[in-house]
Amino acid sequence: MSIIRTENLNNFYGDLQVLKDINMEIEQGEVWVIIGPSGAGKSTLLRSLITLEDFTSGKIFLDDELFIHREDSKVVEQMEASRYKQKLLEMGMVFQRFNLFPNKTVLGNVTLAPMNVLGKSEEEANEIALNLINRVGLSDKVDFYPSKLSGGQQQRVAIARALAMEPEIMLFDEPTSALDPELVGEVLNVMKDLATQGMTMMVVSHEMGFAREVADKVIFMADGAILETGTPDELFTNPKTDKARQFLASIL
Amino acid sequence: MDTLQHMLSWMPALLNGAKITIALTICATVAGLIFSFFLALGKMSRNIIISKICSAYIFFFRGTPLLMQLYFIYYALPLLSPVLTINNRFLAAFIAYSLNSAAYCAEIVRAAIQSIDSGQFEAAKVLGLSHGQTMRLLIIPQSIRRLVPPIGNEFIMMLKDASLVSIIALADLTKVTRSISSSDATTLVYIPAMIIYLIITAFFTFVFNRIEAKMEERE
Ligand SMILES: Nc1ncnc2c1ncn2[C@@H]1O[C@H](COP(=O)(O)OP(=O)(O)O)[C@@H](O)[C@H]1O
Ligand SMILES: [Mg+2]
């Protein structure tokens, strides 16, 4: 069963087409790494899936059920409201710039949505949160405010915060590119753990080592389109298109 | 020695005036600030009617003199309809200053809210928080820290603008000073009066700086 499937997803900013007929299907438990030059539309794709971006046209299916269908920038068909909301929560997202809530402690960041959106009691939310915070290795920072944490620690909190909503799939938009090089590893390790435990993941990242280690598929995007799909080995050692070859040469 | 004696004899009256000045400023700033959140959120609302009403309110109260607003509320409203008579001078001043300060604070609040990184709204949306929850739990608490310095400024301005209430014969510090000056036929009383103003201003500047420092420490 596919967790997310898209049909001819298109997005325009004025005359600029940033997504071109994206047809993709990600299965339960798969880990995708999406690569491609800046401006390729990688962020726009993730943001469209999680409805941060109102794409121009196309369909998104979640668990084989129509989630939203848009044409001419307008909604044509959409899941019934309460179900739509619930389905949306099955996607978690981690941002390049963490976007932690600076007025909440680490624990507060992780418990906020479970308590206010899922209606969990404080006790229950705390228990889940402490578990997750432990899982990302930050048990000693529970009461810290984000500004007192390193970038790597903040990003790990952001991952725990997303996981607290018990998502089916996690979207990562360049989760390590705002980090100092020495902090990249700790975040990738948490993500590798997640992958090993069977989480479905779409990760925009140029970390080749990570891709080789955990990705089932590497997707190469350029100019708003998916140009190549393959295993890490296929794509990294044997790219078919010139664009991919050039791009890989530029980041190695 | 005589002069000092004299000055001390004015003190109780001056301090009573200062009490009125401080009470009016605090009450009006607090009420104005609370009201200003509704105005700011209203002005930013996607509902055009609400947004226009709030904009018009802010435009009106920032665009006309406070003195005239005070006059209007105390002297002109009762002429329009006796029901609108406000006998208590302090209450009339409180209403005028709150309405006025709300308009100024609303622009400060709006600027603070708009200065919050859009990533906060995105993270909240992805976690399923509603717009109202996002505002209440995240955006407003975060903007409060940024509000402290400009609201502190606004407070000090108001403290001095409070001297305008003498036109409705409310016995604030300025009014008391003028009364003493004419009854005792002396200009000397202005010296302790201004010193009291300076002390009040210095004290509240200190308080606002402390609040700011405390908040900085926390985040
Ligand atoms: N809000 C926006 N308005 C206009 N153009 C945008 C907007 N967001 C992204 N773009 C453009 O869309 C293209 C794809 O952007 P993006 O998805 O961020 O690429 P990537 O993440 O692959 O670097 C870029 O050319 C970018 O300039
Ligand atoms: Mg991007």
CA of B31 to the centre of ligand 1 (A): 44
- For A137, residues 6+ apart whose C-beta sits below 8 A from its C-beta are A156, A186, A190
- For B149, residues 6+ apart whose C-beta sits below 8 A from its C-beta are B208, B212
Residue A90 structure tokens:
């099955």
Q: Do A145 and B219 touch (CB under 8 A)?
A: yes
Q: Which of B129, B141, B218 sits opposite A117 (nearest CB)?
A: B129
pLDDT per position as a tens digit, B40-66: 999 999 999 999 999 999 999 999 999
ipTM value, please give it.
0.95
Where does the pLDDT of residue B82 fall: very low under 50, low under 70, confident under 90, or very high at 90 and above?
A: confident
Residue A41 structure tokens:
């539309």
| Prediction pTM value | 0.87
- CA-based nearest residue to B174, from B44, B26, B30, B24: B24
For chain B, the structural domain boundaries read 2-218
Residue B76 structure tokens:
């002109």
pLDDT per position as a tens digit, B11-21: 999 999 999 99
pLDDT of residue A150: 96
Q: Order across the sheet with A200-204: list the strands.
A: A91-94, A169-173, A200-204, A31-35, A217-222, A225-230
Q: Which residue of chain A has the CA closest to B127?
A: A113
- For A116, residues 6+ apart whose C-beta sits below 8 A from its C-beta are B129, B133, B137
Which residues of A have a CB under 8 Å from any CB of B? 50-52, 85, 88-89, 91-93, 95, 97, 99-104, 112-113, 116-117, 145, 147, 158, 161-162, 165
In this structure, which CATH number among 1.10.3720.10, 3.30.420.240, 3.40.50.720, 3.30.43.10 belongs to the domain B2-218?
1.10.3720.10
pLDDT at B24 over 90: yes
What is the rounded average pLDDT of the residues B15-42? 95
Question: Phi, psi at residue A61, to the nearest 5°?
Answer: -115, 135
Residue B209 structure tokens:
């700086």
Helix (H, G, I), strand (E, B) or coil at A217: strand
Sign for the pseudo-dihedral over CA of A85, A88, A93, A97: negative
**Distance (Å, rounded) from C-alpha A166 to C-alpha B128?**
12
Interstrand relation of A217-222 and A91-94 (parallel, antiparallel or unpaired): unpaired
CA of A181 to the centre of ligand 1 (A): 25
Selected for mutation to probe chain B from A116, A117, A128 (highest B CB count within 10 Å) is A116
Sign for the pseudo-dihedral over CA of A66, A231, A32, A132: positive
pLDDT of residue B119: 97
Q: Which residues of chain A have pLDDT under 70?
A: none
**CA distances in angstroms from A1 to A60, A77, A165, A192, A226, listed in the order given:** 14, 22, 21, 23, 22
pLDDT at B122 over 60: yes
pLDDT at B217 over 80: no
pLDDT at B131 over 60: yes
What b/e string do you get for B12-44 counting C-beta neighbours within 10 Å, with b at 16 or more?
ebbeebbebbbebbebbbebbbebbbebbbbbe
Put simply, whether B128 touches A (Cβ < 8 Å) is yes
**Distance (Å, rounded) from C-alpha A70 to C-alpha A58?**
6
pLDDT of residue B7: 82
- Name which residue sits closest to atom 13 of ligand 1, judged by CA: A39
pLDDT per position as a tens digit, A54-80: 999 999 999 999 999 999 999 999 999
pLDDT per position as a tens digit, A116-141: 999 999 999 999 999 999 999 999 99
pLDDT at B1 over 60: no
Please list every residue in chain A whose beta carbon sits closer than 8 Å to the beta carbon of residue B128: 85, 88-89, 113, 117, 165
Contact B162, B116 (CB under 8 A): no
**Distance (Å, rounded) from C-alpha B206 to C-alpha A93?**
43
